Amino acid sequence: MMAPISRAWREGLTDLYLVGPTVLVLAALVFVPVLIVFVLSFTDYQLGDRSVTFVGFDQYVALFTDPIGRRAITNTLIYVAVMVPSSILLALLVATRLHGMAQWSPGLSRFLRAAYFLPVAATLVAMALAWQMMLHPSIGIVNMTLVRLGLPAPAWFSDRGLVIYTLALIGIWQTIGYNMVLFLAGLAVIPRHLYDAAEVDGVSSAWSRFWTVTWPMLGPTTLFVAVITATAGFRVFETVAALTGGGPAFASDTLVYALYREGFVYFKVGYASAITVVFFVFVALLTFIQYGLLQKRVHYR
Amino acid sequence: MKSIFKTALAALGLTLAATQAQATDIRVHYAIPTIWADTQEQLAQAFMKSNPDVTVTIDGPAESYANGVQRLLREAVAGNLPDVAYVGLNRWRILEARELTKPLDPFIDDAAAFEKAGYSPAIRSLGQYQGAQHALGTSASTMVMYVNPDLIARAGGSMADFPTTFDGIIELAAKIDALGDDVEGIWIGRHDWRFQGLLGSHGGRPLNEDESDITFDSDAGIAAATLYSRFYKEGGMPIYGQSDARQAYPAGTLGIFFESSSLLNKFTESAGDRFEVTVLPTPVVVEDDSKAYFPTGGSALVMLTDDAEKQKAVWDYMRFVTGPEGAKIIVENTGYAPTNTIVLEDDSYLGAFYEANPNARVAHRQVADHAGPWYAYPGDEGVAVTDLIGAALVEISEGADPKTTLDTLAETVRAKLGMK
């Protein structure tokens, strides 16, 4: 005969029964692997090795002192610095224009929305091939046009000083559509009466309408877009892998590409784990800063 | 008592294995299905036809040789390695260093007979390390010279007396480059493998005999690196990436292009009837022709199984694939050069193929004459330093001084590989 269980116990057991499986799966698939990566970053483990030696912070020191490691970090920062603000500003511009256009030409507005969204939906590797052909230094359509106009024809992917900006440009092209959709959603829920009220208060020019109503009301959307775009910027990998392979001479190496190269091409799992941890810290820091800074100035309704 | 029991069990196991001999199953790993999928199927079918007691199971392929080795390493950790694997010629040493490959010398047994069966010293060298045979080459490619005869003619040259020295080639490249803004003279990849090719042409080697030191900063190495610099300064080598050049040559805007012979089919196909893709051998600079070699890309077979019964079946499979019948299937389907000299000498195998593909004969002859190992740098940083070499070549091909750049590179590589 079992002793009767108290009500608190029963509820506790039910909670465990409901939450337990999720916790177990999360632990097995997320927390434990993250922990392993963290531990590995303090070792010199190589894929296939049968033993592991702890090397303390050596891998981190190597990442920040090795010129190639440092270049990966600076390249990533340049990429983010160029791509994130441009993508957000351009997306905002496109979204407000298209939102306005929906008043007088809904069909064209819808068509342009789809066109801007296309890069988001398209397979990146196929798109990368198209970019590669268009930006070919001598037989690509872009440079052929530039030459015809009497302008210099840059080597978009093989000029070491230029390549990271070319990739940032493609990054902007890739993310505008997604950010535009988010901004459009934000614009759609701004109540009309706010504009009417502003007009009553003597706000007449389009610019001050934007500045006093639209922009503050888009605050939460902008915060979300900024966080999403910045993390996407730090994660840049596919374009690098498909278009430049980090080259020429590591000129377009980024953190995540370096992580892939060290771990899966060089088999240096310990070093790759250290890069992963640094990458994680970057993204976490950035997210906290953005939330901290922007949250104060965002008006949630 | 316990050990007697164990022996009895083992004996029982052996008899069981013996009675099941008709059904030896071997698992095969390969990479790059876009090139190999059909070929692998044909090889397995042809092998099983002549060896009905062996079943070949083909693992799902890896996307590239790099991915393939990764997967094999993971499978080794998990304890489910395949029995035999096709790996990149420059990558089997990764498996050897982790003691996963089984030495093949006990199976070769009679070396003279083996050589007679088409395994020349040059071809055997592709799978040897420190005197032991760890791998057998299955397909090969070396760096050849692709030229565009139309551009050559427009620049005042002719295919009949095409220059055979690098000086002559650079002079011709400059004339091609002068034809117009959209025409480029010459291009070579800034990549470890291409550099080793030029180095070998000068009779140099990247590493010394026992692989304890870097030797690409020798005179031969500096001469090879200087070619990169001269191609840029005198021959009009543009600032291209590998894929830029691979688009420009078939488009007919690049005159001379040093590239792997494995791309022959692709170039011929995409050039269409714009011009006639023509292959010439890479010039040999060193006086003593026997000292020249060209690092060979492609794939090799390694034996991975520990099971004696399976090892026998795997060896039969390896001999079949690398023998003349296997080589015929591989050459006809992939365009790679064969790794068995019999098919080059005996026209009954590939005579008709070479008749229809004279370019292939040039490329395959170069493999037979000058195939050499694609040196992989030893140790944990071995793959990483090849990217450092590529980066130094980029600098040289954009104007940096070849000698000082190469000297700095050699020092960096020595430090990385722990050679000082």
Residues B289 and B310 in one domain: no
Q: Whole-angstrom Cα distance, residue B136 to residue B118? A: 12
CB contact under 8 A, B253 and A266: no
User: Tens of pLDDT along A209-242?
Assistant: 888 888 888 888 888 898 889 988 998 999 999 8
Contact B196, B174 (CB under 8 A): no
The CATH architecture of the domain made up of A63-295 is Orthogonal Bundle (1.10)
User: Tens of pLDDT along B93-130?
Assistant: 889 988 899 999 999 988 888 988 888 888 888 898 88
Residues B359 and B399 in one domain: no
**Length in residues, chain A:** 301
Q: Please name the residue that has the structure tokens 């080794």.
A: B76
User: Confidence band (pLDDT; 50, 70, 90) for B67?
Assistant: confident
Contact B34, B73 (CB under 8 A): no
CB contact under 8 A, A157 and B184: no
Interface of A with B in 135-164 (CB under 8 A): 136-139, 144, 147, 155, 157-160
Short-list B368, B225, B390, B374, CA closest to B295: B374
Q: Please name the residue that has the structure tokens 């080598």.
A: B237
Q: Looking at residue B134, what is its pLDDT? A: 94
**Token representation of residue B272:** 């269409």
Q: What is the DSSP string of A28-82?
A: IIIIHHHHHHHHHTTB---TT-S---B-TTHHHHHHHHSHHHHHHHHHHHHHHHH
Q: Whole-angstrom Cα distance, residue A176 to residue B350? A: 55
B260: left (phi over 0), alpha (psi -120 to 50) or beta: beta
Of the ranges A115-129, A207-221, B14-28, B316-330, which is most confident? B316-330
Residues B348 and B405 in one domain: no
CB contact, 8 Å: A85 with chain B? no
- Between β-strands B278-280 and B128-129, what pairing exists: parallel, antiparallel or unpaired? unpaired
Other Cβ atoms closer than 10 A to A266: 22
Chain B residue numbers with beta carbons less than 8 Å from the beta carbon of A46 are 380
SS3 label, residue B185: strand
Q: Whole-angstrom Cα distance, residue B73 to residue A269? A: 12
User: Tens of pLDDT along A253-283?
Assistant: 999 999 999 888 888 888 999 999 998 888 8
Residues B121 and B88 in one domain: yes
**Token representation of residue B215:** 């030797």
Q: Which residue of A has its CA nearest to B387?
A: A249
What backbone phi and psi angles, to 5 degrees, belong to B289?
Answer: -55, -30
The CATH number for B52's domain is: 3.40.190.10
Residues B57 and B124 in one domain: yes
Contact B264, A270 (CB under 8 A): no
CB contact under 8 A, A250 and B184: no
Q: Flag whether the pTM goes above 0.90.
A: no
What backbone phi and psi angles, to 5 degrees, belong to B80?
Answer: -130, 50
Residues B60 and B88 in one domain: yes
Residues B359 and B241 in one domain: no
Query: Shortest Cα distance from A138 to chain B (angstroms)?
Result: 6
Q: Last residue of some domain: B372, B388, B408?
A: B372
- DSSP secondary structure letter of residue B262: G
Contact B64, B31 (CB under 8 A): yes
Chain A residue numbers with beta carbons less than 8 Å from the beta carbon of B73 are 47-48, 267
> Which H or E element spans position B29?
strand B24-29
Q: Whole-angstrom Cα distance, residue B230 to residue B250? A: 24
CB contact, 8 Å: A247 with chain B? yes
CB contact under 8 A, A158 and B66: no
Query: Shortest Cα distance from A169 to chain B (angstroms)?
Result: 19
Q: What sign does the dihedral B31-B36-B42-B47 (CA atoms) show?
A: negative
Q: Please name the residue that has the structure tokens 């490329």.
A: B363
User: Confidence band (pLDDT; 50, 70, 90) for B7?
Assistant: low
Q: Please name the residue that has the structure tokens 């996307």.
A: B63
Task: Give residues with Cβ within 8 angstroms of A56, minimum separation 6.
Answer: A42
Task: Decide if pLDDT at B10 tops 60.
Answer: no
Q: Which residue of A has its CA nearest to B381?
A: A266
Query: Shortest Cα distance from A157 to chain B (angstroms)?
Result: 7
**Angle, nearest 10°, between helix axes B358-370 and B347-356?**
130
User: Tens of pLDDT along B215-224?
Assistant: 999 999 999 9
Residues B275 and B354 in one domain: no
Q: Please name the residue that has the structure tokens 């700095």.
A: B408
With respect to residue B256, please indicate whether it lies within any of the assigned structural domains: yes
Short-list A266, A284, A291, CA closest to A44: A266
Short-list B370, B31, B407, CA closest to B225: B407
CB contact under 8 A, B244 and A157: yes
| Number of domains chain B is built from | 2
Other Cβ atoms closer than 10 A to B306: 10
CB contact, 8 Å: B246 with chain A? no
Residue with the larger pLDDT of the pair A126 and A276: A276
Contact B89, B298 (CB under 8 A): yes
Task: Decide if pLDDT at A31 tops 70.
Answer: yes
Interface of B with A in 299-338 (CB under 8 A): none
Q: Whole-angstrom Cα distance, residue A185 to residue A28? A: 37
- Closest CB to B248 among A138, A147, A266: A138
User: Tens of pLDDT along A185-216?
Assistant: 999 888 888 888 888 888 878 888 888 888 88
User: Confidence band (pLDDT; 50, 70, 90) for B376?
Assistant: confident
Residues B27 and B132 in one domain: yes
**Would you kindly state where each structural domain of chain A is located, as residue ranges?**
63-295
Q: Whole-angstrom Cα distance, residue B132 to residue B109? A: 12
Q: Which residue of B has its CA nearest to A270?
A: B380
Residues B116 and B262 in one domain: no
Residues B360 and B408 in one domain: no
Residue type, A138: S
Q: Whole-angstrom Cα distance, residue A75 to residue A279? A: 13
Distance of CA B156 to the CA centre of its chain: 35
Structural domain harbouring B408: 144-294+380-417
With respect to residue B49, please indicate whether it lies within any of the assigned structural domains: yes
Mean per-residue pLDDT, B138-148: 93
- Closest CB to B239 among A159, A264, A267: A159
Mean per-residue pLDDT, A29-44: 90
Residues B255 and B240 in one domain: yes
Contact B371, B125 (CB under 8 A): yes
With respect to residue B56, please indicate whether it lies within any of the assigned structural domains: yes
User: Confidence band (pLDDT; 50, 70, 90) for B136?
Assistant: very high
CB contact under 8 A, B94 and A267: yes
Contact B101, B305 (CB under 8 A): no
Bridge-partner residues for B178, per DSSP?
none
With respect to residue B8, please indicate whether it lies within any of the assigned structural domains: no
Chain B residue numbers with beta carbons less than 8 Å from the beta carbon of A147 are 181
User: Confidence band (pLDDT; 50, 70, 90) for B17?
Assistant: very low
> What is the Rg, in whole angstroms, of the alpha carbon atoms belonging to chain A?
25
